[in-house]
Structure 1
Amino acid sequence: MRIGQWLGLFALIVSLYILWQIRQLVLLLFTASVLAVAINQLVRRFGRSGMKRAGAVWLSLGIVVALLTVSFWLIVVPFINQFQDLVELLPSGIERIRQGINWLELRVAPFLPEVPDLNQIIQQIQPYIANLPAQMLAFFSTSVGALLEFLLVLILTLMILVNPQPYRKAFIRCFPAFYRKRVDEILTRCADGLGAWTVGALIEMVFIGALSGIGLWILQVPLALAHAVLAGLLNFIPNIGPTLSVFLPATIAFLDAPWKALAVIVLYIIIQNVESYWLTPTVMAHQVALLPAVTLTAQIFFTTFFGALGLLMALPLAVVAKTWIEETLFKDILDRWQHSS
């Protein structure tokens, strides 16, 4: 290798090391880029009608803010009132749990190993209750950090959305001159993939929210609309989001009538099976081809390296990584690799 090639290799290694050290900042920038691409779908639609980009950007942002405000009003405000009711009903709920345990002890316990009673369970969790103030302080500091990161992402999203071309050109210039045209093509494919994934994710969120709302309304579970909106939003996180979405409606249903909690769990299992085996293959097959195993592996991988935000952005990261691997490794290297005799 020539000296210039060695210097290029050394610069590449140093660059990768620096990127690894600031990976959280890079992930925030990537999150802002994904949001900008998603909102840009609206901007482009308004632009086709003859609207100038500046007006289309602000109109799209207004629509997004309005949707977030409505979602907040539908979810947070009712849940605050419901939480107060839950606190008042908590003693009766504990008594129902105690009665259920007693019922199990009388009818099922003779056939099972000894199960600790409720008092033993309460004694075991007392150390965790004693550490509650320290945990609340840690939660507060974490929340402040998350809020600052959220504000940074919003600012970066607005900056990229208003004028994306300078940032795109700056990224392309990080590559050798002979490969810059190819990088521009790959970035276009990444943007198309993220846009298609955004449309597919929105379709799934609306579908899950509608089915959840109808099912909870039939079961007469309180705050059915709020639970439906929450289920749709949490569906953004595959595998884990649907599991989290069932907790609140099942808890509220249990305090209303114990059989409703079981009915809610069964309802959500049915909805998620319909989504997994019919909706996702049907919608995402026309949007982004990601195998279920790849989706789960991406969630584990990016959560390990980037934490909670990595879990939230696992699918967009997987879409971008898939595009780059297909275009650079397969098309530009392996497909052109000729056997030399």
Structure 2
Amino acid sequence: MSDSLRAPEEPGPSDFANPLTSREVQRASVWIGMVVAVALIWMLTQPLLLIIGGIVFAALLDGGVRLLGKILPAPRGIRLAIVAVLVVLFVMGFMYLAGSQLAGQAQALRAVVESQVTRIMGYGHQYGLIPADQNAADLGKQLVGSVGKVTAWVGSALGALSSLAMIVVIGLFVAIEPRLYERGIAWMLPMDKRADFYRTSDKMGHTLRRLMAGRLVGMGVEGLFVGVALSIIGVPMAPLLGVLTGLLAFLPNIGSIVSGALIVLVGFSAGTNIGIGAIIVYVAVQTFDGYVVVPMVARRAVDLAPALVLGCQLLLGALFGILGLALADPIVCMIKVLLEEKSELAAEAEAEA
């Protein structure tokens, strides 16, 4: 057949010079990239949570360094070393002074809680509120399952210690020179987006420091007040309950519910009057923390809706276990700041146009 009789050639699907083919390949690449990114994030959730935990710990250290800088005009490295040493000394001193006493009380607390739960189960069986074939162990499993799975890598003592060690190491490295990592992330962004990134990063850091400051103050206030007040009214194991209340205060909403249940159970184990007094102490401490401490320290900078935080705690706890539950509040805080800054930047760009 003569060349003059052949149909004119058109670009095929393998010819990327065709604008249509090139555009479709780019669209497909975007969708494939998004699917791969989501899959990688899901598979790497545990390391990502450890990194976020390290950033949160770095924010705590950075807040201490900035606070110390107001009274000690020393280089940042020296102030960070002082803050780290003080933290280590506090933890070691606390464990040395109260460790043996609290360890003994922990065994007694477990026995008291088990007996009180069994007693409540008995009332439930008597009045038909709980099925007769359900015992306290089954109820405990249901409660744990409703909060979320505790993965083996966090649930075991070795996994918890290794995870905590990684969080501390990452936090120390970030706190030593935070601008280094900030510039590294900004380097991967277009030049015209870097100023917006620095602005958002500064706002995130400020808000996270305020949030963590509020958590620390709340932990100290709740733990101290609960321990002292329960000791005054005669609740058994008051020091241990104060320590647990302080530690659980790091988990807003859920932590207060768990600590309140422990306080009430132990209080009523010593008598009705002491149990009522324990309820009054718990309500008073939570009211003081919610209406005085939190507004003074963190709410003006964070302003997170309690229902939003609780919902995210339940979701992240169900998906990722204890670490997801503990980091739900900081994650929501950073996402909220990111969305607010994006909205403000869009409004500014629209106003300039």
Match of 2:53 among 21, 31, 36: 31
The structure-2 alpha-carbon separation of the partners of 1:255 and 1:296, relative to structure 1 and needing over 3 Å to count, comes to closer
Q: Which residue does 2:64 correspond to in 1?
A: 42
Counterpart of 1:142, as a letter, is S
Is structure 2 residue 68 aligned with structure 1 residue 55?
no
Conserved? CA contact 1:34–1:194, under 8 Å: yes
Conserved? CA contact 2:154–2:163, under 8 Å: no
Quote the offset at 1:151 in angstroms.
1.5
The structure-2 alpha-carbon separation of the partners of 1:254 and 1:291, relative to structure 1 and needing over 3 Å to count, comes to closer
Quote the offset at 1:85 in angstroms.
4.8
Conserved? CA contact 2:227–2:242, under 8 Å: yes
TM-score after normalising by structure 2: 0.74
Q: Which residue does 1:326 correspond to in 2?
A: 340
Structure 1 CA distance for aligned equivalents of residues 66 and 137 of structure 2: 56
Q: Deviations over 1:212-251 (max 9, x none)?
A: 1332122122443332232122111111111222344444
Conserved? CA contact 1:250–1:260, under 8 Å: no
The structure-2 alpha-carbon separation of the partners of 1:139 and 1:228, relative to structure 1 and needing over 3 Å to count, comes to same
The structure-2 alpha-carbon separation of the partners of 1:276 and 1:115, relative to structure 1 and needing over 3 Å to count, comes to same
Counterpart of 2:80, as a letter, is V
Match of 1:303 among 309, 317, 320: 317
Structure 2 CA distance for aligned equivalents of residues 127 and 6 of structure 1: 51
Conserved? CA contact 1:295–1:315, under 8 Å: yes
Structure 2 matches for 1:174-323, cutoff 5 A?
174-323=188-337
Q: Which residue does 1:134 correspond to in 2?
A: none
Structure 1 CA distance for aligned equivalents of residues 129 and 41 of structure 2: 51
Is structure 2 residue 103 aligned with structure 1 residue 80?
yes
Q: Which residue does 1:133 correspond to in 2?
A: none
Quote the offset at 1:188 in angstroms.
0.8
The structure-2 alpha-carbon separation of the partners of 1:11 and 1:337, relative to structure 1 and needing over 3 Å to count, comes to farther
Q: CA RMSD in A?
A: 4.1
Q: Deviations over 1:71-92 (max 9, x none)?
A: 445664323212455688899x
Structure 1 CA distance for aligned equivalents of residues 288 and 261 of structure 2: 19
Structure 1 CA distance for aligned equivalents of residues 39 and 333 of structure 2: 23
Counterpart of 2:160, as a letter, is A
Question: Where does structure 2 lack aligned partners over 5 or more consecutive residues?
Answer: 1-18, 141-151
The structure-2 alpha-carbon separation of the partners of 1:252 and 1:141, relative to structure 1 and needing over 3 Å to count, comes to closer
Structure 2 CA distance for aligned equivalents of residues 214 and 124 of structure 1: 35
TM-score after normalising by structure 1: 0.76
Count of matched residue positions in the alignment of Structure 1 and Structure 2: 322
Conserved? CA contact 1:74–1:229, under 8 Å: no
Structure 2 CA distance for aligned equivalents of residues 115 and 331 of structure 1: 52
| Equivalent position SS for 2:156 | helix
Match of 2:90 among 58, 63, 67: 67
| Equivalent position SS for 1:289 | coil
* Higher mean C-alpha displacement, 259-268 vs 158-167: 259-268
Structure 1 CA distance for aligned equivalents of residues 67 and 240 of structure 2: 30
* Higher mean C-alpha displacement, 5-14 vs 51-60: 5-14
Question: Where does structure 1 lack aligned partners over 5 or more consecutive residues?
Answer: 130-137
* Higher mean C-alpha displacement, 50-59 vs 29-38: 50-59
The structure-2 alpha-carbon separation of the partners of 1:216 and 1:90, relative to structure 1 and needing over 3 Å to count, comes to closer
* Higher mean C-alpha displacement, 140-149 vs 180-189: 140-149
Quote the offset at 1:304 in angstroms.
3.8
Conserved? CA contact 1:74–1:225, under 8 Å: no
Quote the offset at 1:64 in angstroms.
1.3
